[in-house]
Amino acid sequence: MGRHKIDWDSLYIIEKGKKRKLSEYPFNQLSGIESRLQRDIKKKKEKIQKLKESIKKEIVSINIDIMLTKGDLTNVRYMIKEKSKEFSNEGITILRDKKWVRGKVRIMGKVRWVHIGSADKWGKESDEVLYGKIKEKIGKHFSKDRTTFKNR
């Protein structure tokens, strides 16, 4: 069997954008070309390695940013959940005094007081009406456009 026939005149290299036949070069020059090509390959591989390392550093940086953003997202979701929470009437306390009517609600771990109005105007209203008014005022306090806290 043997090896296939090589067309020596068809072997070429591209130098400075020009295609040149290898058969035109003397042996010692081919040896120099070989060394140069090996150096070029080595330099390009090193360049690839540097790019891979910089990409790894960039990936680590981006992953850190993602982790921090996920933490922020979790906090925002907690706050949205707490602020959009619908309060049942059991979670609201109505306090009536001789001069004023107020409501007390626990939101985000803190007690919030809501002034309903004077006892003359609101003192004789039913608890359901006062619960609705408290929910409305809490909703306005947290967000101008949210209606989550209004009467259910």
Tens digits of residue pLDDT in 75-91: 999 888 777 666 677 77
The predicted model scores a pTM of 0.47
Tens digits of residue pLDDT in 102-145: 988 887 778 888 888 888 888 888 888 888 888 888 777 766 54
- CA distances (Å), 4 to each of 7, 9, 22, 111, in order? 10, 15, 19, 91
Domains of the chain, residue spans: 12-82, 89-142
Specify the range with the lowest mean pLDDT, choosing from 62-66, 85-89, 92-96, 97-101.
85-89
Predicted confidence at residue 123, as pLDDT, reads: 80
3-state secondary structure at position 15: strand
**In this prediction, what percent of the chain has a pLDDT beyond 70?**
89
